[in-house]
Structure 1
Amino acid sequence: MTSAPPARNRAAVLGSPIAHSLSPVLHRAAYAELGLADWTYDRFEVDEAALPGFLDGLDARWAGLSLTMPLKRAVIGLLDEVSDTAAAVEAVNTVVFTDDGRRLGDNTDIPGIAAALRERGVERVEAAAVLGAGATASSALAALAGLCSGPVTAYVRSADRAAQMRQWGERLGVAVRTADWARAADAFAAPLVIATTPAGATDALAASVPARPGTLFDVLYDPWPTALAAAWGERGGAVVGGLDLLVHQAVLQVERMTGRAPAPLAAMRAAGERALARA
């Protein structure tokens, strides 16, 4: 008589650095709310070199992984299947393991960005601007494909990054224009600005926020508010923060890894807010 396979009840977030990640707080809050007392969610410091060995060492108890930098692109070649959208933007932030041992990659940042904007009443814009050109910027372009009817201008620091953003736009059906980072303050004329840059990168732009700005989506959550987000709010503009994105993309991860839906958005957001307040 063969024994039943072990229950899939393990998940984690991988990246480097990873100590700052709020993902364990959000996922554990979801498990508690859903009554999944036997589920665990941890964090592991894993860089690109260590990723193949880490994946190969996982046993049948693992349900899924969340991935942050610098692993979102590095993982693609290690997967059995990648969703079309994740492949188009070359960024996977979610891996789900199937019962037959396959590794499936997807990107929940893309619907997470769209959901966070919808929550704040932004469902359609005529134009948008993106600050930055990394993995989150490509996800932002994919989200804008469904809500921006006009051009998207990406403000970047190099010709290579500019070419990459235009290439992603072509794949996604988004009309992408590029401009040098030195002109980044011009972005603020757009009705929607998505800042995807690391901490501190937009601080110098705070003084350039206009008197009546549109909506700013700043993907950072620590430190919060950023200088740009604070200035934006002071001038009466709508601000969507990184915690909004983190929660919405984590909701989708929880649903896909556990098979339970809907995931408890409010409980997850409250847990994240408490953790940031303590920090």
Structure 2
Amino acid sequence: MTETPLRLGLVGLGQIARVQHLPAIAANPDFRLVAIATRGQTDVPEGVALHSSMGEMIAAGGIDAVVLCTPPQMRYALVRDALLAGLHVFMEKPPTQTVAETQDLARIAAGTGRTLLASWHSMFSAAVAPARDILARRGMQAMRIDWQEDVHKFHPGVDWFWQPGGMGVFDPGVNALSIAVACAPEPLFVRAARFRVRPGEQTPVAADLAFATPSRETGFDAHFDWDHQGLERWTIRWTLDDGGVLDLSRGGGALALDGKTLLDEPDTEYPRLYAHFRDLVRSGRSDVEIRPLMLAADAFSLARRD
């Protein structure tokens, strides 16, 4: 017997929604996009209702779940209202502007019996599972993250990143942090951070972090740069306990061990995420991972600012 497709309402029609969410929804027969809530008039797919707010969309009825692609500063109230209205919720990363807000939403979801997904899409990249398995077997004595891209290329004209709660370079940087915590065989702690903040802005455009683990105090660091010129660099290099080198590149699309390619695959993160959301809804579970957001929050707490 075929399950009835889950009827989705999408809130926020920015670049990430258009580039990733709309194609992933359209390609999955377990979902049907029935409504979009966004500011102003815009083109929407044929047969999809357009609303000016999520409240208006919920009042119109006919949806089972909402997908939140709004800035994180406004996310908490929207997710709370959707859960209390009896809807399942898929949150684009970062889930909210604070750890406490995400934790409270997990509490509300449990109380209402609805599914809540904090969608760290990079955790669903092809390299994560094999990297985690290798690190579990062979240990980790060092780690270097380099996450560098040009914000103007991927988010032209967007300024909420530079306001309190916008996270600045950690908006893309949490992708690396999500991979790091998913793969590391033991917890990661931020030990030091240095931010570069441009005049008139409140969040960093670049950052350098030092990490520790319960067994090692040094050897783990990261460089994030959202003002990078040239080809994007989304890499993590782990030095294994036996001296081997594990290289993740293309944001998790490729993985090599001691220079030998283990995998090199196209981007399938969002299709995998939506399959995961479907499985969570069908089994009555939630997935509210907070460790990437906690590491970013710890960096803000410890940072020296230039």
TM class by shorter chain equals 0.3 to 0.5
Higher strand share: 2
Using the size of structure 1 for normalisation, the TM-score is 0.47
Higher relative contact order (CA 8 A, sep 6+): 2
Using the size of structure 2 for normalisation, the TM-score is 0.44
